[in-house]
Structure 1
Amino acid sequence: MVNRLANFAHHQFLNSHLFKLQNDLFDAEIAVASEKKTQKYAGLASQSQRLVNLEYLARQSEQFNLNNNAMDLRLETQDIAMVGIEETISNIKDMLSDFSSGERRDENQVEQMQKFAYQALRDIQGFLNEKVGGRYLFSGSRIETSPVSLGLGNDLNDFQTTWNGDTTTYPTTRSANIMEFGVNETGVTYTLGNSVINGEQVQHGVMTVADSSLYQTGSSITLTGTNAGTWTVLDKDQDGANTLRLARKELNTNASSPATDTYTFTVKRGTKEETFNADVVVDPVTGYITPSNPTDFQGVTIPSTIEITSADGNNNLHVTATAFNEDTLGSLTIEQKPLTAVGGAGEAVTVSSQNYYNGDLMTSNHRIDDNRVITLDTNGLDPAFEKAIRALSIIAQGKLGTTGGLDQNTDRADDALWLLNSSLNFPTDGTPPYGTEETSSIEQLRFNNAFQRNQIKDSITREEKTIGFLEVNIGSIENIDMLEATTRLLDIDRALQASYQVLSRTQKLGLANFL
């Protein structure tokens, strides 16, 4: 038998060389396919740390842009909502201006004005409850809570039932409008009282509380217990420390009860006004004013405001006639808001406010890049929105013809007009009707919003340029030269083929080939 030339050592050497070439070919194929020099940072040796730093900066810039685009969408949607509110207020302001310059007691004009004011409140409520991606935009940090609930009910009638403009009036100041608390008062007592202003009785009830500083004059509070319901706080601490005066309206019995007294009645509704005398019997239990002559009240339109005066001042009141009772001797039913006196040790009462805002006042910060942060603080309780809500509610309250109606309180139009102007732009000419107001306006809110969006857009542009610059530098480190890599791949492939040929040839050679 003739021995082969290739021995075991030679065979092992050729195989190891083949394996190395195969591994080099695999790496070269991966490099050409991925266009990267290596798949591991270790393959870049001294430049790996620099590459990691550059990639971190690029990913950071990409994340900034991702966050900034999301925030820009929220701010854009917020601005769209504010544009809607601005247009709503501008339109209703023009209508109110026309109303103020015309006949303010005209029934059709009053009804239309209140209808438009109510609809504007609905529109503003809708805009302030706008959300994007499941996040409410005007609720502070309570992004899952609908921020604004104006208590509008199903229609204008529901709203005017809650706010009759007489015994329950919509708060005229910001502090009263946004008062928020829940208090459990114990040992509460109520006493009745009357004040006389310019010959008219201003009736009130005195309520004792633990701490009157919690309450605001002009605010509306909801009570439980004997006098459950919504009450307007007329004043506080006028009848002793920690006392509140609550608005009430009740008829008094005739001064010479049960005899008949003579009263002067001035009936008002819209532009209509009629004055006459009538002998009547007053019944505060039923709310009936019954005339001696059943036809005395026959021409009274329901509802109407009735100004009652008498020689002895017993029932000098502005009241609302809500029904004409032909079957009870032509009597009128007068709307009352009675308060029950509770003396002695008193009772436990829960007091809650009528605040329309359900969000919070927390601000949030948004980082637009590594060095800059913007503060987001626009919410549904901003004075710009609150002034508009208050103005429109003051106009919408009180049904036509009633004591609290707009036709009987025409000065509300001028007051609301100032608030609407102040809501749109500040400063506003003229004197604030209800005291000093905060300066925020929708114009300023939109300016702030536009400035923040401009900052975000500038940051996005800068980050995009930064990302491009970083990607170029990253590519210079990790990307291959395609021509060089392809040439190397072909060289390795040819070397591998030649190695296989050598291996095959040496396996076939033996000493017999040389004999």
Structure 2
Amino acid sequence: MTRISSSASNTILISRFLQTQRTLQDLETQVGTEKRTQTYSGLALSSQRLLNIENAKSSLERFNSNNDQAQLRLDIQTTALTGIRGAISDFRELLLGFSNGDLTDPERIEQIQADAFRSLKDIQNYLNTEADGRYVFGGGTVRTEPVSFGLSTVSAFQSIYDGARVTYPTTREAHLEKFSISRSNVDLNPAHLTFEQTDAGTGKSRINTTASSGQFQNIAAGTTITISGTVGGVNDGVYTVDSVDPNGLWIDVRTEQLTDEGTALVPIFAEFSYPDPEDPRQMTSITTDVTFDRRTNTITAINADALEAIPEGSMVTISGTTNNNGSFTVASNDGTDMVVESKRLVSDGGTNSTLEVLGGGNPLTFSVGTGPNGEDQIITNTATFGTLEAGQRIKINNTNTENDGKIFTVQSVADDGANVTLTLASDESLDDTVPTVTTGVVALNALPFSFNAAERNFYFDAGAAGADEVVFTDGGAGQDTIALTGATFTDAKGNLLPAGTRITVSGGTGNDGTYTIESISTDGTTATLVATDNLAGGTATKTAAVLAGTGSITYTDNDPAADSITLGGGYFRDPDGNNLPAGTRITFAGTTGGLNDNTYTIASVSADGLTATLIPTDAVDDTTPTQTAGTISVGGTVGTISATSYYKGDTSTQTHRVSESRSFEFDITGIDPAFEKAIRGMFLILQGETGTEGGLDRNQNRISEALYLLDDALDRTNNQPPPFGAELDSNIEEMEIILGYRAVLLSDVKKSNETIISSFQTSVSSIEDIDPLEAITKLLDTQRTLEASYQTFARVRQLSLSNFL
């Protein structure tokens, strides 16, 4: 061994080299990043303090970022609000100028209504302002346009809101109503409504519900409602709610109709005021003795031609009566009989009732093709028929004609004082083989569904015309058939009689008896009997045969499945041919032994309409499965009553946190009272066509009412008495103040946050950052130390004992 260094000394030297190298690398990183360390652990006791400062700084930066987004939303709301203020203010000035001029000038009215239309469209556009992918006035509904007035043209709007029969809501509560009622809230029965044309002579029409309470309780008077889905559409339309039962059992809707008043012997001395034909802006008047007839909407002068000065199409204001004071529009006028336009409900629902039992003194005449447009007509001398209304349905029975068992719809009623003529719907056909009958029953068929198993639903007398025949065919191994010549197995609308109809044959045909129909041929002339029924006399052709149809009810206990009821000779359908909806409650009476006299709820109806399946909790008694007695009815009629608001958003608010301790709500929506009042005021002006009873020229009070709403929407100071009761306290001026305050709050907090963030950044820098001069000096010193160490190590490695010998 000649080396002086040992293994231990080498190890120590190398360890020192590596340590110096690490120190050099750390210093290089510090110089390159200007940070003391790349990990929190490198800061030792200062690391926790640094974390706290950085978290606080990050929180403030997030607040500033969120506040920038909130500021954008506020800026856009402010811009939109400025536009809305301009639209309201401009229209207010226009309306104020209009109020100081001729309020009956058609051109000026047309212009102010056009201004209202334009202003409403502008407001709608502003309220549908979108920012950053969200609508700013929709509350929590941010992806759907929150406001829709449904405006297309002025005339289209006025065709609905005529200002007389249907008026625009005057209160906030009525203006913002939104609901849809199609079933009873007690038992979910869809057939829960009844409609009355007149409410005990008040001149209003009434909608009742079978619900025990509360169905209509929350509906505000003045609400615009839409009625749809009524049987035959007879009561579909738009109406204004006039009053509501405190218990929610009925709604009275605003109608325009006369009330029966006066007679030829005791007439009513009335005054009629109407626009002068030479100058419609001037009113003229006449007085004369008249009578009023509600059903025909006719005012009849006792003296011929006493009303001839009143032009058709004009508005007439009646005074001096007990029940008919008001304004009406003249539909036609021959000088003696003046017919006014009406808007009212058709009585429907309730109960079926006998209208007339025919006799020698009150016959019924069937007249085919004699209506104004070729419709069939029924003529009678009985005044009872004069109470019928267009749209109502009647059922004829026991007249021993082919009209028995058929339901007809009244299209119009004419009463000339001697006879009442009913014109039927154009798609319904009478049989006039026997033109006049003195026996039988005519019933008012008010229900959307009723069935009487024992009642005649078909009648055919081959001998009535002298040339008709009934052909009985024994099918041998197949099924027997009965065919008609000169008639068909159909109802009033030409629909085939349903399977299960029971046909009773009489007239000494050899085949007299009762048979059940399984099916009817497509042309309606041939009925195929069920396989278990065989013609007693076999094949034969008879000219004196009489066929009368009745029905049956079959009860089926399907335990453990739901029970069902099947009709023979009838359908679970309404007069429009629609299957009764699920939830309909049907009431049975007169069943065998009363075992099924009950009320059941329908779960479903088969596609062919013959079978109703009940809900599982309803059970039938099938001791006698098929019965030929019993009646079925529903408690009311169907229909949907709904109201819609211009606002499609919601009322939820969004809280924005400006800082840890400060926040505010984004709570300005399209139904804010300030917007709603202005919108309501403009619509008051827009409704009603000039020259009509609902026109602005005839309802000048709307100008002051609209001005109040516009003033109340704009400013905080409005000392005028509110025309429609107290309004909610909100206005554009307050909104601008609120938005301005929020913008200042955001700005102040942002400035404060930026100052604090700057201080935090200084503290972070004092902990994290290095002194570059000091770090570079240390780097160079360490580098020289490392280089010297390498040189010394190399020199020591070269030393040997041999060098000293």
- Asked if the contact 2:217–2:245 (Cα under 8 Å) also holds between the matched residues in 1, the reply is no
Moved more, 272-281 or 498-507: 272-281
Give the Cα–Cα distance (whole angstroms) in 2 for the partners of residues 286 and 30 of structure 1: 103
Give the Cα–Cα distance (whole angstroms) in 2 for the partners of residues 121 and 321 of structure 1: 32
- 1:319 maps to 2:328: yes
Change (3 A) 1:251 1:149: same
- 1:338 maps to 2:344: yes
Q: Which runs of 5+ in 1 are unaligned?
A: 197-201
Residue-by-residue CA offset, 1:246-285 (whole Å, 9 max, x unaligned): 122346899889xxx9995724796254657999999999
Give SS of 1:218's match.
Answer: coil
- 1:237 maps to 2:245: yes
Aligned to 2:196: 191
Shift of 1:298: 11
Change (3 A) 1:133 1:91: same
Give SS of 1:346's match.
Answer: coil
Shift of 1:215: 1.3
Give the Cα–Cα distance (whole angstroms) in 2 for the partners of residues 461 and 312 of structure 1: 75
Shift of 1:225: 3.3
- Asked if the contact 1:220–1:353 (Cα under 8 Å) also holds between the matched residues in 2, the reply is yes
Equivalent AA in structure 2 for residue 174 of structure 1: R
Give SS of 1:248's match.
Answer: coil
Aligned to 2:173: 175
Aligned to 2:581: none
Shift of 1:137: 1.6
Shift of 1:513: 3.8
Aligned to 1:110: 109
Greater share of helix = 1
Give the Cα–Cα distance (whole angstroms) in 2 for the partners of residues 280 and 122 of structure 1: 47
Give SS of 1:223's match.
Answer: strand
Aligned residues: 496
Residue-by-residue CA offset, 1:406-453 (whole Å, 9 max, x unaligned): 122111111100110000012313211111112211111111111122
Moved more, 12-21 or 169-178: 12-21
Aligned to 1:391: 681
Change (3 A) 1:492 1:264: same
Shift of 1:334: 6.0
Equivalent AA in structure 2 for residue 357 of structure 1: Y
Equivalent AA in structure 1 for residue 244 of structure 2: K
- 1:141 maps to 2:145: no
- 1:357 maps to 2:363: no
Give the Cα–Cα distance (whole angstroms) in 2 for the partners of residues 310 and 379 of structure 1: 46
Aligned to 2:371: none
Residue-by-residue CA offset, 1:123-164 (whole Å, 9 max, x unaligned): 111111222112222222223332222222x22222222322
Shift of 1:12: 2.6
Give SS of 1:244's match.
Answer: strand
Aligned to 2:71: 72
Give the Cα–Cα distance (whole angstroms) in 1 for the partners of residues 317 and 739 of structure 2: 54
- Asked if the contact 2:163–2:693 (Cα under 8 Å) also holds between the matched residues in 1, the reply is yes
Aligned to 2:396: none
Residue-by-residue CA offset, 1:284-314 (whole Å, 9 max, x unaligned): 9998999999xx68976xxx54206599889
Which of 253, 256, 261 aligns to 1:246? It is 253
Aligned to 1:348: 638
- Asked if the contact 2:664–2:742 (Cα under 8 Å) also holds between the matched residues in 1, the reply is yes
Moved more, 448-457 or 80-89: 448-457
- Asked if the contact 2:179–2:644 (Cα under 8 Å) also holds between the matched residues in 1, the reply is no
Rg: which structure is higher?
A: 2
Shift of 1:471: 1.0
Shift of 1:83: 1.1
Change (3 A) 1:505 1:278: farther
Give SS of 1:105's match.
Answer: coil
Which of 781, 786, 798 aligns to 1:491? It is 781
- Asked if the contact 1:427–1:439 (Cα under 8 Å) also holds between the matched residues in 2, the reply is no
Give SS of 1:245's match.
Answer: strand
Change (3 A) 1:283 1:13: same
Give SS of 1:213's match.
Answer: coil
| Aligned Cα root-mean-square deviation (Å) | 3.6
Aligned to 1:199: none
Moved more, 65-74 or 410-419: 65-74
- Structure number with greater CO (CA < 8 Å, separation at least 6) is 1
Equivalent AA in structure 1 for residue 31 of structure 2: V
- 1:370 maps to 2:378: no
Aligned to 1:20: 19
Give the Cα–Cα distance (whole angstroms) in 2 for the partners of residues 468 and 312 of structure 1: 85
Shift of 1:390: 0.5
- Asked if the contact 1:289–1:333 (Cα under 8 Å) also holds between the matched residues in 2, the reply is yes
Q: Which runs of 5+ in 2 are unaligned?
A: 185-191, 352-634
TM-score calculated relative to the size of structure 2: 0.56
